Amino acid sequence: MDTTDTILEVKDLVTRFATPEGVIHAVNGVSFNLKEGETLGVVGESGCGKSVTMLTILRLIPQPPAKVMRGEALFGGRDLLKVSNDEIRHIRGAQIGMVFQDPMTSLNPVLTLGRQLTEPLVTHLNMSKTESRARAAELLKMVGIPKAETRLDDYPHQFSGGMRQRVMIAMALACTPQVLIADEPTTALDVTIQAQIVELVKRLRDEIGMSIIWITHDLGIVAGLAHRVMVMYAGFIVERAELKALYSKPLHPYTLGLLGSLPRIDSDESIRLTNIEGRPPDLSTAPVGCPFAPRCKFAYERCIKENPLLKAVEVGHEVACWWDVERGKPRYDG
């Protein structure tokens, strides 16, 4: 894997939503990069800002009610947040593909799969009807759907959930994008189908050489797929590290809680799974201190008053926390 070149760089992204109940602070100064051939796992509970971050980058959130307050998303020397509508449509179709969580609501129920698969090929690659249909059948074969040529004339309801998700992956890969964003693509599937989809994406990643952002709340899936992991909470990045470093030495209490709630086959049977106490954060008010402090067993006075910045504490390992969980004392003086 060549990770020398950054293909996507997001800087200080802030997204708000105006609602009748007030302003929702959905994404709060998120910065990250994605390298060529890399798989970046983005994890966190529902409502932590994972999906909104990626939808903001691709300009897929309606404005209003959403508003991008500040930030940059640099891809191929261009800021995706500032390019024209025509440019972003071309980028979304040809250079950055996205797989959504629920394939039944993402696929058009009244159009055949052949029609939906050939549309980006005709629009972005100027293929003829015959060429695009042949390529569509090739894509279905690539993602493991049998009798691909005949299945192009079927409708989404004629496929199982796992097959529909394979079709969504085929659509996202139709124009051989440089980046694939997968938004919890296995959530609605049983564990056997989940494993098949993950193996499929890994194989396609290696064959095509694309970069992947995999959004999930399941650290178990990320373990077998990602090179780096980014943990989000309340619209902030609270920890980021190489996969092995994060799993072997988590440094943020929230990451500890997520890993502690994950069943392990190599653990003692007497060790109980842990749960994270408290309630999810209220995003209608901007946090004064650390957003995780109300649920954190290590929180002390500084955590309540001041929100820590994401800082590197080891090479390639960043954390936003005032408390050093390894040494059992504050990480920084003052």
pLDDT along the chain (334 residues), means of 10: 73 91 89 92 88 91 88 91 89 84 75 87 85 88 83 87 82 84 78 78 82 87 88 93 90 88 59 74 85 89 91 90 86 64
pTM of the model: 0.86
Burial class (CB in 10 A: 0-12, 13-18, 19+), 329: exposed
Contact (Cβ atoms closer than 8 angstroms) between residue 55 and residue 226: no
Measured between alpha carbons, how far is 44 from 102 in angstroms, rounded to an integer? Answer: 18
Q: What confidence score (pLDDT) does residue 2 get?
A: 44
Nearest CA-CA partner of 246 in 267, 230, 233: 230
Q: What residues are paired with 24 via a beta bridge?
A: 17
Q: Rounded to a whole number, what is the distance in angstroms from the first to the last CA of the chain?
A: 42
Q: What confidence score (pLDDT) does residue 333 get?
A: 59
